[in-house]
Every structure is written in C-alpha cells, then in structure tokens.
Structure 1
C-alpha cells in the first residue's frame, strides 16, 4: 500500500521520541515527571456535580457548534477578560479541545493558492506540533520562524521578505508562548496586524496559556485587533479550559473571530467535528463563568515562579517566565542534559530540540530543556534543586 508523503518531513512525535531516549536507561532517583504540560492543580469542585446532574443528556446528540448557553458563557468571558463584544451565535464556536480548532481552522480557511502560488503557513520555531501538521495537511509550504532569545522568544515577522509575505495565508502565533513563556505586546500585535492587512493573511492566535501569568494579564489578539481597527476577519483566537481551569480532560475550548471565518469552520465541523457531550458542555458553561478557581490556581503558579527564581538565582537565562508554566532552561545539549538528569536524579524533562525544526542546519531548541512546573510546590522546589545541582553546578 502506498501512503501519502505529505508528512514525511515530520520527525517522530515528541513523546515516543522522548521514551526512546530515556526508557532504555534506569532512573537515578525518585521519579519526578516534568515533561508534559498537564496541570495538576485542583479543578473546580462543582464540575463533577454538574456532569452528574446532567447525565441524562449523554443520551442525546450534542449540537456541533456548542449549546447557546455555552457560547454565551464564552462570549461573556471574552467581554470581561478582553473588553471585546462578540456575537455568541456567529463569532464563537465551541471546540473539543483547542488542538482540534488549531488544525481544522487551517483546513477550513487556508486557500489552495495565494496570489497564484502555493500558500505559505508561518509557524514559530519551537512550536506546538499541530501547527505544522495542519499546514502540511492543506498542502501549504511551512516557513519556520525562529523564536529565540535574540527575537524575544517570539517570531520576528518583520524579517520576512515581501515574496514570502505575499504567499502567506496563515501565521500561527502562541502568546504566552509554549515553551518559552514570552508575551506578545500591544506593539507586537499592532505590527503583525499591519503586515497581515498589507499582505492579506490570517492570524491564528493560540492563547491557551493566557490565564497563567505573574501579575499583568497578557494582551489578547482580539483585544489588540479591536483597539487597532483590524479587519474583523483578520484574527482568530483559540482558548481552552485545560490550563486556565486545570481541566485538560474536559476538552472544552473555543475559537472566536469574524462571522465569515467562524461560519466556514462551522461548516467543516458539521462533517468532521467531534462536539463535546452535553453534560460536559453544561459543566463548561459554569467553569467559563467562574474566576475564583482561576485566581487560586494562578497564585500557585506565581509561587512556583518565585521558587524557580530563588533556586536559579545568578544562573543566566534560568529565571521563571512572565507567563505560562514552563521553564525554558539553557543547556549545552538538550538531549544530553535530559538523559543525564534522568539517569542521575530520576527527573524527566523534555529536550528543547524535540519541539523545534532544524532550519539551515540549526535547531533553535537544541540548547534548551523544557521543564513543566506542574508538580506540587514542595515537590517542585526539591526537584528544581536536584536539577540545578545536576546540570548547573
């Protein structure tokens, strides 16, 4: 059997690759898994009760786009958080986790050609793998944009030549960024939106980590688009309850944007989507409407930022980020560091190069490891001290 070659440029997926690196070797101490960004803080206690109270709805097909009540709850959150008013029925669609939306939005909105040529999708490097898979699925060329210390850990779109920009159909941006925790400023959004207007491409803003930050809430893409008067179809944003509310298993996310763009995504969803079961939508309505649990969880992440800052004080490049819950720590070689850490201490982290692509002989993640700050505070403190003593002293 002959299979399509469109994904042949992809390396092995992150997690099998990591297991292949670490699992052949015994761990050197009490195991502490800091690889995956799976929140471990408590989720809102009312979720289980709401699911149980609505369990009869498991016997019904759920609406593809989300219940009106859920869409209104999401639009209400956007209004409170970003001061942007959305028409819930036309500008919001519920997602079965943000990954689905980040993929299907490209399927629905990427043109077959752009200015008579094969389209380009811009992807930050390092990146969340679904961006590249979505681009390859629609037959686009992927241009990997370095997001390095020199660029502030966000892509520098101004460095692109006009020929590339004229072929660009979509630009993925993650803010706060995974893995580095960098935040796109208002000026950053303004400049990117000006480029998008000039060269007529879409901005897909992955904002899944928007509610995990030190003190000042990160600027949102819809917020900036409203402020700068960008075309209403120019920007789509993607959010989730996974990080905000410690509910990765609830699979409640959303995409919001212009009504024409959302209409196209809804049309695809009608054929290819997998909506949330109704009891989960009922629970999600309440979660999007509640901020108390978000504030409590954020305070715990801030405490972990402080722990990391103390543990790595005086070590260049090792302070905690402004947002998100990953440490992006500089090392000489990410794979060697991860293997050394595992075999000598029992701590599992992710080599940064596994999240990036080699371009012109350079992989911008090779000199880093990603550490997920998801463990309990005391466990996090002892784990980071073990990490520091193993790799930095």
Structure 2
C-alpha cells in the first residue's frame, strides 16, 4: 500500500533542517503549522473533569457536543438549515479516508485544488481513484467519473480565499453531476485581509446542504492539535452514511476530548486572544520577508505567508536554512507551486523575532 503513496514530504526536508539547526542562535522552524501557545485553561479543565471515562464513547458524539457543533456552524458559518454533524479524530484522518468512506474507488475521479494540502492526494490514492488537479470547473469538462470535489478556503498553503459566488458555482456544478463537494475550512476563523465564507453559508447553499460537507478543526483555532479534535457539518444523509461506516471502523473521538471540544466551541475569548498573537507575528514576518526581497502572494487568511524569491523553491529553502530558518517548499503542495515557499506563523514571539532579525540583517 505505501508503495502507491508519494514520499512523506517532511522526510525530504531533513537535510535543510539539519543546516538550519546548526545556526548559532538555534533553529526557527516555520515549516509546519503546529501550534506553540498553551491550550486555554478552560479547555484543559474540561478535559480533566471528563477524564474518568471508563466506557466507550459515542462515535456520533455526545448530545452536548452535537449541539455545540451545530450551534457553532450556525453562528460562525451562517448555516441556517438542518445540518448533520459528526466529530472526527482531528481533520487529517478524515481527509485521508474520506474518499474511501464515501465509496469512491477505481474508475472514479476526485478533483483537488492545483496547489493544496498533500493529504487530499493521499486520500484519493488510498481509495484507488484518479486525482485531477483543477481550480477551474471548465477545465474538468463533462467527465461523469467525477465523484468528489475538494475545495479549500482559506487555502493551505496559499491563504487564498474563495468568494461566495465561486463556491456556489462549484456546488451547482457538482449537484448537476451527482458529485459530492467537501470544503476544508480549518482556517475559516483566521481571515486577515479578507473574510472567508463557508460553503454552508446561506449565500452559497441557501440552507440546502444536499451533497455538501464542510470540514473543521480545533487544532489552529484553539491550539488543540495534540487533542485531535475536528468535526464535519453538512448533508444529513452523507453524515449519516459516514457515521455508519465510522462506527464499524472504530473511528471514535475519546470522551474527554469530546468534553474539551464542547468547552472550546462555546468560548470565543480564547480565539480572539490567539488571533491577536498570530496577527502580530504575521505583520512582523511579512515586513521582514518583503525587506529581504520576497514577494508574498494571496495570504489573505490562514497561518501562512505564501512567498517567493522568483527561484526554485528548494533554492529558497536552502537560502533560509543558511540563516537558521526552516520553511516548507512549495513543491510539497503541487507541481505548479515549485517557485514558492510556505512560511508559518506558528512560532513563539521570541523565535519570530529571531527570524525577523536574521531576515533583515
């Protein structure tokens, strides 16, 4: 099975990481968007309070969690219709296994963005289906083999935000062909220059979620990457099908994590505080990169600065590594991204300041 998958991207970055780690002032790792700030106290308290959990948890989530998810989707995504909801073990496992869980297989086509999170492609390969990279519906033509369309706004890695009109066209196109639209919205609450729109918003779906599912995560919003806490919202029939399969597969969010998710979804104060930290880091890194001769494209939302020096991405990775800074090469995200690097905002204030000093020296 592993032979059918691409090389694990981060293994390819090890030589550059060794160079960057040799810097006298230490490594500044801006390659992976892993949170570094503390888990909010109210979430840790909820986890601890629910830690006496000897029985099996519900795959569907507790009633309190299902209510918290539905209310958050209505409040944050502007979803006014009847939603199906489902907790997931983070978002990566869901992305990797969703085509398989939906019955996509050999002979089917899954559309993914031209530049995107590598696990979309991995999931298609695990299912034995064919990957097509496309941002334009007209490029796809009338192919009846398309069963699933991935969209991602705000984008990882580019930070691009798709407008409601574009999302609506994708949904309409997919419904005409009986395909499912899955929207990865894990960075939805991190808009900077633009306000992201959910595929569940009324201006996109009008309260009808047929064939539409949105994917969310608390990893970035609430610093819960270590908890593996994600969830889905959308078409009740599709969600019910996913629940039925996931029950058999044992894909269950642990009970203490479910309680922590309820606390996280019910509080916006910690979200605002974390946004302020990222906003300051973003501005510092953006200014330093521009001074160092980089161009920054898109990056209107999310936790990354999509940057280029107009050269092969690996040359840029090496240039940064010589200054003790590790970035992700654009080649990880698709063939058309080979001249960009992804700079993450997820480092401590001290490490961001170190990167700024090195870039502007």
TM-score by length of 1: 0.84
Q: Structure 1, residues 274-327: CA drift from partner, whole Å, max 9, x if none?
A: 312212211211111111111111122222232234324475632682111111
How is 1:268-287 mapped onto 2 (pairs within 5 angstroms)?
268-287=245-264
Distance in 1, Cα, partners of 2:298 & 2:36: 19
* 1:158 and 2:153 correspond: no
* Structure 2: runs of 5 or more not aligned: none
Q: Deviations over 1:214-252 (max 9, x none)?
A: 16531001115x644485222100001001111101111
The answer to whether the 8 A contact 2:19-2:324 is kept is: no
Correspondent of 1:377 among 334, 349, 352:
349
1:95 has 2:124 as partner: no
Question: 1:379 & 1:173 partners in 2: Cα distance?
Answer: 32
Match of 2:320 in 1: 341
Alpha carbons of structure 1 residues 112 and 216: separation in structure 2 relative to 1, 3 Å: closer
Moved more, 194-203 or 14-23: 14-23
1:159-192 deviation line (CA, Å, top 9, x unaligned): 22223xx221111111100000001111111221
Question: Per-residue deviation at 1:194?
Answer: 2.0
User: Residue 169 of structure 1 corresponds to which residue in structure 2?
Assistant: 147
**Deviation (angstroms), 1:8:** 4.1
Paired residues for 1:31-110 under 5 Å: 31-57=27-53, 59-85=54-80, 87=82, 91-110=84-103
CA RMSD of aligned residues (A): 2.3
| Residue 112 of structure 1, CA deviation | 4.6
Runs of 4+ with >3 A deviation: 7-10, 20-26, 85-88, 110-113, 226-231, 312-316
Change (3 A) 1:216 1:143: closer
Name the CA shift for 1:274/1:198 in 2 (closer, same or farther; >3 Å).
closer
- Counterpart of 1:359 in structure 2 is none
| 8 Å CA contact retained: 1:313, 1:319 | no
Note the residue ranges of structure 1 that are not aligned, 5 or more in a row.
Answer: 146-154, 357-362
SS in 2 for 1:328: strand
Q: After alignment, is 21-30 or 346-355 more displaced?
A: 21-30
Report the Cα distance in structure 2 between the residues aligned to 1:26 and 1:175, rounded to whole angstroms: 33
